[in-house]
Every structure is written in structure tokens, then in C-alpha cells.
Structure 1
Amino acid sequence: MTNTADRLVEALRATMKENERLRRQLAATTEPIAVIGMACRFPGGLRSPDELWRFVAAGGDAISPFPSNRGWDTSDLPCFGGGFLHDAADFDPEFFGLTENEALATDPQQRLLLETSWEAFEHAGIDPLTARGSSTGVFFGVIFHDYGYRLRPPPPGIDGYTYFGSAGSIASGRVAYTLGLEGPCVTLDAACASSLVGLHLASQALRRGECSLALVGGVSVLATTELWEETTRTGQGLAADSRCKSFAAAADGTGISEGVGVLLVERLSDARRNGHTVLAVVRGSAVDQSGATNGFTAPSAASQERLITRALADARLEPGDVDAVEGHGTGTPVGDPIELAALFATYGSGRPTGRPLWLGSLKSNLGHTQAAGGAGAVIKAVMAMRHGVLPRTLHVDAPTPHADWARGGVALLRESVPWPATEGRPRRIGVSSFGANGTLAHAILEQVPRETEEPTARRAGEGGAEGLDVVPWLLSARSAAGLRGQAERLLAHLTEHPDLAPADVAYTLATGRSAFEHRAVLVAADLAQLRRGLAAVAAGTHTAEKEVAPADGSADASPAVGSPAVGSVEPATVTRGVVSAGHADRAAPVGTTSGFAGSGVPLAFVFPDRPGRLPGHDSALAQRFVAFAAALRAIGTALDEPGLEGADGNTAPAAWAGFASQVALCRLLESCGVRADMVLGLGTGELAAAYVNGTLTVDDVRTLIATHPSSVPASPDDRRVPSTATAVVIGTSAADGGRPDGAADLTLLPAGRTAVRGVTDLLTALHMRGVTVNWQAFLTGTGARRVDLPTYAFQRRRFWLEASAARKN
């Protein structure tokens, strides 16, 4: 009986485990996908999702005449122009490691994907360099390759670059190679549906665990007029004014445009765990094909209806659960009514009176951006949900008479409307993208879940980080001009957003941007001071500063200013004493240090003899830094044991306190990612050095202090830190006798500053010398959070191949 009962229990356990495994498997295959970063370039000079939203919300029209800088003959084209990226030829090759000849041979579409992929990571608050070696996927839509025509025959100097510069497969591969991404990497050509098909495939890959993050998007830049010519020859119809009159009675053909849009997506559970801001959620998606229709490019209402039904099933939603659709809406008299028929049959069916499905299209603002259209539609939809507004669709004189609007259930957005009340559920919007090859894609987006919403924004007056008396702003670039550009962009952003909290800006700059060789650090307590320092860096009028301390370590040293211009100097050094890390003289409004950071510099921790302690510094550091408090607790337990009064009366407790403080300071630095290549102890500082490197235990140190607290021998004169190393003095006094004359020390707790300010200044000084600092750890517990800031200031210049004589003929 017992054996039977045991077998039943085991069988029950096995069944429960299998049920749990199946439950998790099902949850994984249906998990929502979080959109955590976005980047774009669209006609009208739009360079970010925020700019796109402001443009669309204001009813902007981006259609313009044909560009004059591409060598095109447009005299025979039957339309006004289109939507163009007029600066599509501009690029910063040095940033991405390309030579000038390689940049010239590289399709502008590849170059734009490089830039916007970088920006999508930064928009998500992720340092792009940290993605190297990760299983990040790349799914990009590219359908035109006419820039390569200009390479035949190749001009002198670009031999060897022509294939990699023009092949579609390289568009995704180049991004993966440049950023070191090791997930699935695919260039898609599903015609105009390419980027939305990419989102569908990326979602599947994420749910199957094939990648942890994914870049998704599409790009279209036209290097010739062939698309206009071919569209005219096939009779598909171009609007004479080049404007898409989506779903309108006046629809007379499509308008051809350019653009690029990139999304960074992640499993929702991972986004929550990683602390990434979720902009929106992809609840479900579907892809299918029109099949055999009345013509190769003719759409099918039945196929589109089936597509939407499958997307709703994938999202586990009913038609009435979706509030709006961002339609394909190319503005053709045939295609728009067929799309409307499918919407009426699905989303429009059975909706409550007064709650229609709202319908709009970005193409009315930008034209048809081809492979970038789906990504652009998603960006618009995400921003609309976040702002709670459904923007109007332009150029609608009246809804198309070729649709049965009397059926009800679908309403065209002829004016902007507030997002309709959703009775407690999230806002939702569908996005459609249809390819001329018959490929159809539809995705359903959802408002951010409440638990992943960003904290309420703080005002500038509330910007002081908890536990910090000043905040560090870190700027860096790959060139001196780039550093000035970074400062210029941030300064302009602060003018537009004056309520940003300085601590939030500091957090975003420190944790969500890469650290390059050319660097500037600003340290101050309030936004006004930081803005003044930022303006100086942007203008290039600031110089790298150095603060020279007297040999006795007093704090009245005046700064010596006069190094070369910002961004082109070696890190400030002094003959003896303290290097200023963002600390100007007391009359200055803000401390600013700038220069060129090296790499691979050895780091030494120097524990001086009788280091001295600032009044209350232990308690201040313990309150601010968890690692410091934990180290004090671990060592301080020995104070409770008898015998510490020692042979020298009351000197042992002071010696022990100095030892404990030095070790805790060392642990604090280590918690911020700063680890020494060597340690050196001077006099009583040898105890801390020996403990840190594992030579002595706490019991050993306690015994030595209790027995001979003031007789620890000083270090011999030949025990010095190499002149090539950076020495960090763990205490308040300089490490006399442990450093060669003329070399620089960084004192952790210099006199004249608070303990927390001393730590801040030291870390910024190390950062300026190329030492990697874990700023995330340093800022943990301050209440600082990620905010939207400008992305990298690329230093772009023109790279465009003129058409060869053979091509012209």
C-alpha cells in the first residue's frame, strides 16, 4: 500500500511539474513584446520620434520638390516631388570606423541604419557598447538598391568596397558587425510591408529565446528616379501633387517618399527585470499573402480580413478591444476602398454606438516611405498612445465614396481627437502595412502596463539626488568637434525642457551613453550652474583645469588654467597633490574638466600613514553608500571584543577606526567598479593594504593594533608606485614618500570638501583618465531615473557618388 501511495505521489508531482512546464512554455510563446527604444529620420527634417510627433500633431506636410543635389533630371516626371531626406548623403564615417572611400561606396541606407540603430539604444537608455557580444537580433527591411548603379564602373579608390557597399544583405550585417550583435540577423524584402514583417519575425524570435533584444526597422533612400519612372510606366498612379490623400474622395494616387525608422524591442518580462522604460507593448501580430488576385499588385479584402482576424487571435483580443488603426492608406482609388472593406468587416463589426474605430494614416503627412513605412507607423502609434491624442489625417476633402461608410463602426480622423475613454483597460491601436508583392502585415500595440510606467517627472527644483551634494554630468565624443556638438545638443534640449532634474540628466548621461576618448565633466549642485558650464563646453571657450595643492595638502590652492582648448588635451596633471575633477575655484559657477582620456593606465590604491578623517565622514558615507556601511559593519564587530585598548593606552581605538575607514573606502570604490592593479601601504596604512590584498585577516589586524598600534614600520623609500600609474590616496592626506616627484595623486577625501563630494570628484577624475567607473552603482539609491535626452551628435559631411558616364548613357 505504501509503495502504491508513493508511486501516486510521485506521479502527481511529475504531472504538476509538466503542467508548470507547459504553462511557462505557453506564456513564453504569447508574451507581449516591449518597445523600449525608437529612432527615425523622415521628410521635413524630422530626426527623432519626438520631432515626428510634434510635426504630426501640428498637421505638418513634409512633401517638397525633388532634391537638387542628386544630379537627377526630373523634367519628364509627372509629379511635383515627394518626401525626401535632403541630407541623406551626410555621414560621420570616423565614428563607425569607415574610411572616406568606404563611406562613399556605402549605400546611404546602410549609413542611416547605423546611425538610427545607435540612437535606438541611446533612446532606450542603453549604452550601445554594452550590447557587444549580446544575442541581439537585427531585422531590417531594405527594398531599393539603386545607389549601387552609381558604382558601375566603380570610380577610382573604391575598388573592393562596391559589393559590401550596395548588397542588401550587408545592411543588417553591417549594423551587427559594427555593434558586435550576435543574434539572428536578416535583411528583409517584403516590399512596403518589410519593417512590419520584421517586427513580427523579431517578436517570434524573442519569444522563442533566439535573441534577448532585437533591432527592427526599415529604410528607403532613392539614388535615382527609376521608381517614379517605373511607377508611371506601369500605370499604378502617382498623385500629381505627390501627396497621399488617404481614404479621401480626392485620392488620385500615391506619393513616393524616403525615410528610416528603427525600434528596439525586448520581452516584456525582461524589460521589467532590466529596468528599461517601456514605451508600448506589441500584443500580437500576423503576416499573410494576398495570393491570386485580379492582378499581381491588386489587393485582396478577404486576405486583409483574414490577416486582422489572425492578429487579434494572436493578441487574444476582440475587435472592440482596439480603439484605432494606423492604416496603410496609400491614397489610391482602388487600394484604399479595399482596405476599408476589411476594416469594416473586422474592427467595425458589432462596435457600440458612439465608439467607432478611428482610422488615420501617417502617409498623409510624409508620403509613402516604402520599407520604412511600417516602422514609422508604429512610432506614430506609440507616441499617440503616450500623448492620448489621435492626430488628424491630412488632405481629406471628404471620405472616399467607394466605401460603405453607412455601415458604421469606422470613422476617419478628419480632425484630431482625444483618445477615447477605455473604461479602465489600456489604449490599443492596430497598424497595417501592405506590400506591392502581396505580403500583408498587421500588428496590435497596447499602452504601457501600469507597473512599467515611468515615475512621475520631477521638476528642476527637485533635482538634487538623495545623498549627493553635487551631481556629475559626463559628456564624451569621438572627436573634439563631436564633444562640442554633444554639449550644444544637450544645451538646446535643456532650453526646450527647463524642468529636467539635474540628477536625472546625470543618471542618463552616465548610464545610457558610451564613454569615448574626448570627455568633459561638469560637477555642480543646480541646473543654472550646470547650464553655464555646458555653454562654455559647447562654445569651445572652456579650457581644461588643474588644481595644484601645496605639499602640506591644504585646501587653499588656486586652480592653474591655461591648457589647450577643450577636447584636444591630455588629462590635467599636477606636480604634486590633487587633480581637479570638475572643481574650479570657489568663485566659479561650476567645475568643468575636459580632455582626452587614455586607456590601460595602471591604478594604485595608496593607504597613507595615519590617514586622518574628516569630522562625520564615516556616517555621511555610510548613509549614502551601502558598500561603505557594509564594510564598516563587517570590521566594526571587532571593536566589541576585549583587549583593543592595547599597550599604548587609548591610541588603539583611533588606529582601528582609521584602518576600518580605509578599508571601507576601498570597498566603496570597488563597488563602483574601480579596482586597483596594485596596493601600497605607508606606515599604519600597511595594515589596510595587507588586509585588502588578503595577506592579513581582521583578527591579524586587531592583534597587531592591540599589541603595537603605533609601531608599524614605515615603508622603505624604494616602495613607490610606478610613474606610469594613477595613485588614489585612500584618506585625507597625501602619500608623501610613496610617489615619485612630478607624478599625480588623486586624494579620495581632500580637505575642504564633504566626504560624498570627495568620492564624486575622485570618480570623475578617474573617469577622465580612462578608468571604467560603474556609474549605475554610484547613483543607486539617489532616486535618479532615466529621462529622454538628445542622442549622439554625429559630425556628418557629404558622401554621394555622382552617376558615372556609363550610367547616364
Structure 2
Amino acid sequence: MAGGSESEAAEFRTRPTWPIAVVGMACRLPGAAGPEEFRWLLRNGTEAVGAPAADRPYAPRRGGFLDSVDRFDAAFFGISPREAAAMDPQQRLVLELTWEALEDAGILPARLDGENAGVFLGAVADDYATLSRAAGSHAATPETATGLNRGIIANRVSYTLGLRGPSFTVDSGQSSSLVAVHLAAESLRRGECSVALAGGVSLILAEDSTVAMERFGALSPDGRCHTFDARANGYVRGEGGGVVVLKPLADALADGDDVHCVLAGSAVNNDGGGDGLTVPDRDGQEAVLTAAYAQAGISPDAVAYVELHGTGTPAGDPVEAAALGAVLGGARSADRPLLVGSVKTNIGHLEGAAGIAGLLKAVLSVRHREIPASLHFAEPHPAIPLEEWGLRVNTALRPWPERSGRLVVGVSSFGMGGTNCHVVLTEPTAAPPGQTPD
């Protein structure tokens, strides 16, 4: 190994994975203006998918929509009206979410000024840039370049709050926001930052993006996600965003933080080429699951629930189910199947922010020791033998299964180009002595 001995390499490979605490969160999701509203939406089994408002004629006929995406308190963030008008509303929404997440964490944003706090945000959409280009070159202003640059979505937060840690926007397709969480956790473990803001955002602002996905064949004619169901025929679009505040668990405990849950491990990979660029690959998904639980030091048998990628597509669902069955479900007894579900059945597929929506659902599930229902499931897809693979779609609100040891939940998110991510969450426990990043 160049630059080091074999013993050094072996020591690195066996180094413990420092657990990461989720100490704050914020969201703006269809039917939910914050985490508490989101929790009650999930508990009540509400579907927040419907027709768009009259002032959004460009939106799909059905979807998970936010209210008032055009509103923004520019003065609060020290931004001029002219610059605010040139800014992608995704930048504006992220500023609000990061501020709210820090408030939830009990962290005064001003105290982070000059600190090595990191910002990791997933985003894939450029709808506002599409609208700006359609207005013609005469509409460009000195603020247009930064206002429409996707990388600025993260950088705007760092600039506004004076943060000096890593800061970048992640685009790995539909897995972007969960990959952002993975990268934030790894950055904390490397000591690049002491606190991290991670998540993602996605807004439906132009007709073009919906037309593209419709012609690609991804959207459901029914306007619903029938995850793992025989009726699976595509997904319905949703929009929104979410942010979590992350710290090393040992630091969070020392600081007396309210720990929502613990990120025990995670992994990212790529399918590496299946039958087509956008065709999911079972081997790749099995590999990312195996790697995530190996990093977390947790047996796959300990997992009680997995928040699926679960788009409700006839190609993707059977592949995801088969990979889960092979790694997490196959050896289970009939009376303790792996429970699975998808938040996309409630709020639609948030694409670049889909992973953070699933993560927030999982965090709330661990924190409140209950598993919400996955909607629109009646009969399993013929290519998904649930019992054989040790899986069961959770169709009713239920308390967490009583088992020995910690509560463990997995969260999956897969990009259309094959970038897979899986995150392992557990309930909070005290960190072993001395377990802090080097």
C-alpha cells in the first residue's frame, strides 16, 4: 500500500465506526410544515397527494405539493429583494430549514459563525433555471449566476451562517439527500467538522421536469405510489425538503443534547452497470446493505423495519425486495418478518429530497417507538414472494416489536443512475468510553 505499511492499513480497516447523533431536524413536506405535523400525518395514515393549487398550472395533475413556495422573508437572512427574486426557491427553502433545524437542536446559529460546521445538501432539480432561461437573456441580472447555481444551495447556507466546514450540494439522482447524510457522517468521523447540517430539497417549479419523467415512463397514471403492490405502475411526484443536525454521539452526550436517534453506520455504492443505465441491479443493492450493517457492527437479523426506496415501479420494487430478502429477511422465522414500508405512499416521490423524507420518517419511528403504515398496499406484486423472502409490508400503525437489544431501522435510497445508499439507525445509548473521532 503506497504511503503506509500493511499494519497501518489493517488498523484503518478495523477502526471503530463512531456513532453519529441526530440532535435536530426540520422539514417542509406535503401536508406537514414541520416534524410534529409530519409525525401526525404518518400516524394517521394520511395521503397528502392531490391536485395542485390553481396558481400552479405547470404542476402534474396529482402530486405532493407545498403551499406558498413563492414566499420568503429575505430581510431576516440579510438578503435584498432583488437578490431574493433571482434566487432559486430551493436556496430560500434550505435557508429556512437549516435555521429551524438548528433551533430544534438548541444551537444558536450565531454561535456557529466562524466554526467548522459542515453543510451537505442533496438536490437534482433546476426548474427555476429553466424558467429563467425561458425569460430570455435580457432578464439576467448580476445575481442570476449565483441564484441559479445548484452548488450555491449548500454554499448559501455556509455564507449566511458563517460556517467554515465542508459545504457542497450532492447530486446522485434520487439518492442525493441520503448520500448527503452519509457524507456528512463520514466528514464528522474524519474530524473535518464538529457539527453537520445534512438533507435535501426538491421543488416542482416548471412543466418540463414533469414532462421528462412522464415520457421516461416513471410516473403512475393513477397518481399514486403502490409500493410492493400488484398495481405498481410508477410513482407520483412530490416536493419539499428536510434537514438534520448531526454530531458525534460522544459530543452530543457531553453537551447534554436531546438525541433523537443514532446513525450507527451507512454505505454508498453504484450498481456498476446492469441491463441498462437506469435498470436497478440486485447484486449492487445487496452489496450496499451488507456494507452498511458491517460498518455499523450490527447483525442484519437485528433489524425490525426498513424504510424502503419503494417507488412503486414494476421494475424497481421486485429488485429491492429480492435484495432485502437475501441480506435481511431470508433467515427469519415466519412470526418475525422484516417489516417494510415507504413514505412515498404518503407524500409522493421527492426525488432529490426523497432520502431525507424517508430518514425523517425513520427517525420519528425510532424516537416514538412506533411504525407508521405504508399506504396503498392490497396484494403483493407477483414477482415479490413476501413470505418466502421474510418480508411484510406494514399496513397499520403499530408499536415497535418487542425484542431484546436496541431498536434498529434501515433506510434505503437509490438513484436512477445506480448510486445506492443505505443508512442504519438505532435508538440512543451511551457511547463507549473514549469513543470520539481522532
TM over 0.5: yes
Identify the residue that residue 216 of structure 1 maps to in structure 2: 198
Q: Residues 264-322 of structure 1: CA distance to partner in whole angstroms, max 9, x if unpaired? A: 10111111112211111111100011121111111011110111011111111111111
Counterpart AA for 1:432: S
Secondary structure at the counterpart of residue 265 of structure 2? strand
Identify the residue that residue 3 of structure 2 maps to in structure 1: none
1:396 is displaced (CA, Å) by 0.8
Q: Residues 362-391 of structure 1: CA distance to partner in whole angstroms, max 9, x if unpaired? A: 000000011111111111101111111111
Identify the residue that residue 423 of structure 2 maps to in structure 1: 443
Please say if 1:426 is aligned against 2:406.
yes
Identify the residue that residue 93 of structure 2 maps to in structure 1: 112
Identify the residue that residue 171 of structure 1 maps to in structure 2: 153
Q: Residues 384-409 of structure 1: CA distance to partner in whole angstroms, max 9, x if unpaired? A: 11111111111112122211223142
Q: Which of 26, 35, 51 is equivalent to 1:39? A: 26
- Identity across matched positions, percent: 41
Q: Which of 233, 236, 240 is equivalent to 2:221? A: 240
Please say if 1:57 is aligned against 2:37.
no
Please say if 1:270 is aligned against 2:270.
no
Q: Which of 370, 375, 378 is equivalent to 1:389? A: 370
Measure, in 1, the Cα distance between the counterparts of 2:26 and 2:14. Answer: 30
Measure, in 1, the Cα distance between the counterparts of 2:209 and 2:74. Answer: 28
Measure, in 2, the Cα distance between the counterparts of 1:251 and 1:417. Answer: 24
1:442 is displaced (CA, Å) by 0.3
Q: Residues 33-57 of structure 1: CA distance to partner in whole angstroms, max 9, x if unpaired? A: 111110000012x111111011011
Secondary structure at the counterpart of residue 90 of structure 1? coil
CA RMSD of aligned residues (A): 2.2
Q: Which runs of 5+ in 1 are unaligned?
A: 1-18, 453-809
Equivalent positions of 1:340-379 (< 5 A) are 340-379=321-360
Measure, in 2, the Cα distance between the counterparts of 1:324 and 1:358. Answer: 5
Q: Which of 158, 181, 189 is equivalent to 1:199? A: 181
Please say if 1:325 is aligned against 2:306.
yes
Secondary structure at the counterpart of residue 272 of structure 2? coil
Identify the residue that residue 549 of structure 1 maps to in structure 2: none
Instruction: Say if 2:131 and 2:206, in contact at 8 Å, map to a contact too.
Output: no
Measure, in 1, the Cα distance between the counterparts of 2:393 and 2:57. Answer: 40
Q: Residues 235-274 of structure 1: CA distance to partner in whole angstroms, max 9, x if unpaired? A: x232123211111112121111101010110111111112
Counterpart AA for 2:156: R
Instruction: Say if 1:80 and 1:241, in contact at 8 Å, map to a contact too.
Output: no
Going from structure 1 to structure 2, the CA distance change for 1:102 and 1:282 (only over 3 Å counts) comes to: same
Measure, in 1, the Cα distance between the counterparts of 2:14 and 2:21. Answer: 15
Going from structure 1 to structure 2, the CA distance change for 1:62 and 1:344 (only over 3 Å counts) comes to: same
Secondary structure at the counterpart of residue 76 of structure 2? coil
Measure, in 2, the Cα distance between the counterparts of 1:96 and 1:201. Answer: 27
Equivalent positions of 1:655-734 (< 5 A) are none
Instruction: Say if 1:198 and 1:216, in contact at 8 Å, map to a contact too.
Output: yes
Secondary structure at the counterpart of residue 295 of structure 1? coil
Identify the residue that residue 240 of structure 2 maps to in structure 1: 259
Please say if 1:140 is aligned against 2:127.
no
Instruction: Say if 1:148 and 1:162, in contact at 8 Å, map to a contact too.
Output: no
Equivalent positions of 1:641-652 (< 5 A) are none
Instruction: Say if 1:206 and 1:267, in contact at 8 Å, map to a contact too.
Output: yes
Q: Residues 102-132 of structure 1: CA distance to partner in whole angstroms, max 9, x if unpaired? A: 1111000000000000011000011111111
Counterpart AA for 1:57: R
1:137 is displaced (CA, Å) by 0.6
Identify the residue that residue 55 of structure 2 maps to in structure 1: 69
Aligned residues between the structures: 425
Instruction: Say if 1:329 and 1:361, in contact at 8 Å, map to a contact too.
Output: yes
Q: Which of 217, 231, 250 is equivalent to 1:250? A: 231
Secondary structure at the counterpart of residue 392 of structure 2? strand
Instruction: Say if 1:391 and 1:415, in contact at 8 Å, map to a contact too.
Output: yes
1:63 is displaced (CA, Å) by 0.6
Instruction: Say if 1:29 and 1:207, in contact at 8 Å, map to a contact too.
Output: no
Measure, in 2, the Cα distance between the counterparts of 1:297 and 1:22. Answer: 35
Instruction: Say if 1:137 and 1:215, in contact at 8 Å, map to a contact too.
Output: yes
1:22 is displaced (CA, Å) by 11
Measure, in 2, the Cα distance between the counterparts of 1:27 and 1:64. Answer: 50
Greater relative contact order (CA < 8 Å, ≥ 6 in sequence): 2
Measure, in 2, the Cα distance between the counterparts of 1:47 and 1:132. Answer: 27
Instruction: Say if 1:102 and 1:158, in contact at 8 Å, map to a contact too.
Output: no
Q: Residues 532-558 of structure 1: CA distance to partner in whole angstroms, max 9, x if unpaired? A: xxxxxxxxxxxxxxxxxxxxxxxxxxx
Q: Which of 294, 312, 320 is equivalent to 2:275? A: 294
Identify the residue that residue 163 of structure 2 maps to in structure 1: 181
Going from structure 1 to structure 2, the CA distance change for 1:283 and 1:163 (only over 3 Å counts) comes to: same
1:68 is displaced (CA, Å) by 2.4
Q: Residues 47-83 of structure 1: CA distance to partner in whole angstroms, max 9, x if unpaired? A: 11111011011001111113322452x6xxxx63211
Please say if 1:80 is aligned against 2:66.
no
Choose 1 or 2 for highest CA Rg. Answer: 1
Counterpart AA for 2:51: P
Instruction: Say if 1:287 and 1:440, in contact at 8 Å, map to a contact too.
Output: yes
Identify the residue that residue 382 of structure 2 maps to in structure 1: 401
Instruction: Say if 1:154 and 1:162, in contact at 8 Å, map to a contact too.
Output: no
Going from structure 1 to structure 2, the CA distance change for 1:28 and 1:38 (only over 3 Å counts) comes to: farther
Measure, in 2, the Cα distance between the counterparts of 1:278 and 1:27. Answer: 27
Counterpart AA for 1:334: A
Counterpart AA for 2:116: S
Secondary structure at the counterpart of residue 89 of structure 1? coil
1:227 is displaced (CA, Å) by 2.0
Going from structure 1 to structure 2, the CA distance change for 1:317 and 1:176 (only over 3 Å counts) comes to: same
Identify the residue that residue 125 of structure 1 maps to in structure 2: 106
Identify the residue that residue 641 of structure 1 maps to in structure 2: none
Q: Which runs of 5+ in 2 are unaligned?
A: 1-6, 433-438
Instruction: Say if 2:127 and 2:209, in contact at 8 Å, map to a contact too.
Output: no
Secondary structure at the counterpart of residue 359 of structure 1? strand
Secondary structure at the counterpart of residue 95 of structure 1? helix
Instruction: Say if 1:191 and 1:436, in contact at 8 Å, map to a contact too.
Output: yes
Going from structure 1 to structure 2, the CA distance change for 1:132 and 1:349 (only over 3 Å counts) comes to: same
Counterpart AA for 1:53: R
1:182 is displaced (CA, Å) by 0.4
TM value normalised by structure 1: 0.51
Measure, in 2, the Cα distance between the counterparts of 1:40 and 1:27. Answer: 36
Secondary structure at the counterpart of residue 405 of structure 1? coil
TM value normalised by structure 2: 0.93
Instruction: Say if 2:175 and 2:415, in contact at 8 Å, map to a contact too.
Output: yes
Instruction: Say if 1:101 and 1:158, in contact at 8 Å, map to a contact too.
Output: no
Secondary structure at the counterpart of residue 173 of structure 1? helix
Measure, in 2, the Cα distance between the counterparts of 1:121 and 1:24. Answer: 36
Secondary structure at the counterpart of residue 91 of structure 1? coil
Secondary structure at the counterpart of residue 225 of structure 2? coil
Measure, in 2, the Cα distance between the counterparts of 1:24 and 1:125. Answer: 37
Q: Residues 186-239 of structure 1: CA distance to partner in whole angstroms, max 9, x if unpaired? A: 1110011001111111111111101101110110012111122112222x2321
Measure, in 2, the Cα distance between the counterparts of 1:255 and 1:87. Answer: 20
